[in-house]
A and B are shown apart, each in its own frame.
Chain A
């Protein structure tokens, strides 16, 4: 069974600070996705990474896929209150399924 562990579980920071969320596994994933979910809404896909060592940027968000495709990180620069939400990493699994990490709740205070 493939498992994904996210850390930290909860992060509270002030507006303007930087933050990093980690997603780790002992298994290799062919792809890894990051979602952000705001309270009362469904998860929204932010990015998909598929190549070991890949780095993708989405405005102030930087996503990295580990060389061995077992881990990933999400870095937010100069966080804003609009970045508040539940961040989920998910690895592509066989049978058209995703293996989700446990999620990281991020709170950015103004």
Chain B
């Protein structure tokens, strides 16, 4: 089955210790997104890639970086995690083939990040 995979599902890191979360997709979608979600709130978009074009949200802290080495993989790097960065991180994809305002996004299961 075509899907969005996130690893690991749970990640524990220490305050200030860099951490990388990974996402892969078998949907062959052009667009990949990273969201941050805190307890029962709506997901908050951090950034997204359309193919290799990186699109950062204006309010995403510099502490968050991303890499997309190929169509299938996308990584979220948190350079110096703070306690406030503890959250669920969601990866999503969309085909990008339809008009940009009509795009269905497909989410991975998420990575729960704990910062000690």
Tell me, yes or no, whether A binds B. Answer: yes
Could you write out 5 A-B pairs with CB less than 8 Å apart? A30-B101, A96-B50, A96-B100, A97-B45, A98-B103
A33:B104 contact, CB within 8 angstroms: yes
- 6 closest A-B pairs by CB: A42-B107, A100-B42, A31-B102, A92-B101, A30-B101, A96-B100
The answer to whether A58 has its CB under 8 Å from any CB of chain B is: no
- From B40, B105, B106, give the contact of A103 (CB < 8 A): B40
How many A-B contacts are there with CB distance less than 8 Å? 69
Contact partners of B55 in chain A: CB under 8 A: 95
Interface string of A24-67 (1 = CB under 8 A from B): 00000111010100001111110010100000000000000000
- Determine whether the beta carbon of B101 is less than 8 Å from that of A41: no
Which chain B residues border A98 with CB–CB below 8 Å?
A: 45, 103, 105
B84 is an interface residue with CB less than 8 A from chain A: no
Q: In the complex where A41-B110, A42-B110, A103-B41 touch, is A96 in contact with B104 (Cβ < 8 A)?
A: no
Q: Is the CB of B109 within 8 A of A96?
A: no
Interface range on chain B (Cβ under 8 Å from partner): 20 to 34
Name the CB-closest residue of B to A33.
B104
Shortest distance from the beta carbon of B59 to any chain A beta carbon, whole Å: 12
Chain A contacts with B in 68-110, Cβ cutoff 8 A:
86, 88, 90, 92-98, 100-103, 105
Max chain A C-beta neighbours (<10 A), residue from B42, B45, B55, B104: B42
